[in-house]
Structure 1
Amino acid sequence: MKTVIIFDHPYTATASHNVPHQRAFLAALCQQVQQQLKAQNDQVTLIDLHAEQFDPVMSAAELARWRRGLPVNAQVARYQQALLAAERIIFMFPIWWEVMPAMTKGFLDKVYAKNILYRGDNMRTKLERQPRIDVITTMSTPKLLYRWLFGAPLLKMLQRGTFLKTRLWHFKWHPVVQVDQLTLAQRQQVLAKFKI
């Protein structure tokens, strides 16, 4: 299976070591997920947005290209080709202020583009392989509070507002919650049990 991982954390996917202020539990999860997928003989492509210096801001010139159904730049064109070939797409990011960071939002704005990855006239996806979409997040908010108090805005935005709208039906959210309150031993336990 061809799997594309879109990883968004300022410390990058290399920050899996336990070094204070240079570590991200999300990076350790990314390492774990890649090991699982490679053990299943998946072909894995990692897009590490911060490491690749992806610019999430849409300029006026880029928007003009986007509106004409053209990739906004060579980096985005490369990402679009990877997604067109994917059988599984995994987004990995922390939840900040109840939604994704700007880098992931900018990735969706620029890369998941009209007339390239979905049709402009009817919103139907052009991802013919109907890839499974997995979203792996870390957050400090408890899951029940996130769903019932805040209304799960991430699910509304991604599952309903992006992927179901463009007829990508296979979506699963994998939240890892209250990571900041876990001990090192508890984090290692979460990693050992985590399955995608």
Structure 2
Amino acid sequence: MNILIVFDHPYTGSASENIPHNRSFSAALLAATKKGLRASGHNIDLIDLHKDGFNPVMSSSDLASWRKKEVMDPLIADYQQRLLKADHIIFIFPIWWEGMPAMSKGFLDKVFAKGIVYSEPKPGSLFKCLLPNLKGASLLTVMATPTFIYRWLFGNPITKMVFRGTFRKMGINSLKWYSYSGMEKLTLEQREMHLKKTEKLFAEHWKNK
């Protein structure tokens, strides 16, 4: 499969090593995921939002272009073309204030454009996905909040936004969330164990996908 990974962390995907002040568990997850996917024979296309200098803010001119189904930003046009080739999308980012970082939200706001990524047959109806190959999406998130508290106290806002509010609305129902909570409290060896499990997951369980 062609797997499109959308990565969002200020340190970029290069911060996967245990280097003080330039280390990110999200980046380490990215490295483990890529290694596992390659072992299972998948093709990987990485969008590293911070490395690309993506601007997540929707300006008035951006909104006007969005409404006219025009694409003025060459980076957004490039992202949309890469989406059209994807069989599966994997988002990797930290959860801040119980939601996604600005880059990821801006990616959905600006790149998932009506008439290009989806269509709305009639007002108020479910959308139609215009990505011909897309079969599913996955989320890998890192947060300090324990997962059970995030689910039961806060109501699992990330899956409501990304899965229910975006992909299911477009008719994509093969969706999976992998939550990594409390990683900052673990030893280096324990974190490495989680990374090895992630690599194994994408190497073995994704072989037949």
- What is the TM-score normalised by the length of structure 1? 0.97
* Cα distance in 2 between the residues matched to 1:38 and 1:109: 30
State the shift of 1:41 in Å: 2.0
Structure 2 residue aligned with 1:15: 15
What is aligned with 2:207? none
Query: Aligned residue for 1:98?
Result: 98
In structure 2, what residue type is equivalent to 1:97? Answer: W
1:19-53 CA distance string (max 9 Å, x none):
12210011111011111111122111100000000
**What do the CA deviations read for 1:44-93 (whole angstroms, capped 9, x no partner)?**
11000000000000111111111011224110011001111100100000
What is the identity, as a one-letter code, of the residue corresponding to 1:13? G
Match of 1:38? 38
- Structure 1 segments of 4+ aligned residues over 2 angstroms from their partners: none
Residues in 2 aligned to 1:155 and 1:33: alpha-carbon distance in whole angstroms: 20
Deviation at 1:131, TM superposition (A): 2.5
8 Å contact from structure 1 (residues 55, 106) kept in 2: yes
Deviation of 1:121 after TM superposition, in Å, equals 3.0
Which residue identity lines up with residue 181 of structure 1 in the other structure? K
- Structure-1 residue corresponding to 2:158: 154
Residue from 159, 164, 167 that aligns with 2:168: 164
RMSD: 1.0
Contact 1:63 1:72 (8 Å CA) reproduced: no
The Cα of 1:120 is off from its aligned counterpart by: 3.1
Which residue does 1:64 correspond to in 2? 64
Contact kept? 1:94, 1:138, Cα under 8 Å: yes
Is 1:192 aligned with 2:196?
yes
Match of 2:131 in 1: 127
Instruction: Name the counterpart of 1:137.
Output: 141
Q: In the aligned structure 2, how far is the partner of 1:138 from the partner of 1:130?
A: 25
Cα contact 1:8–1:93 (8 A) shared by 2: yes
Q: Which runs of 5+ in 1 are unaligned?
A: none
Q: Is the 8 A contact 1:134 1:173 kept in 2?
A: yes
Q: Does 1:55 align with 2:55?
A: yes
Q: Count the aligned residue pairs.
A: 196
Q: Percent identity?
A: 47
C-alpha distance in 2, partners of 1:33/1:116?
A: 28
1:57 aligned counterpart, secondary structure: coil
User: What is the CA distance between 1:180 and its match in structure 2?
Assistant: 1.1
TM-score (norm 2): 0.91
Structure 2 distance, partners of 1:150, 1:69, is 35
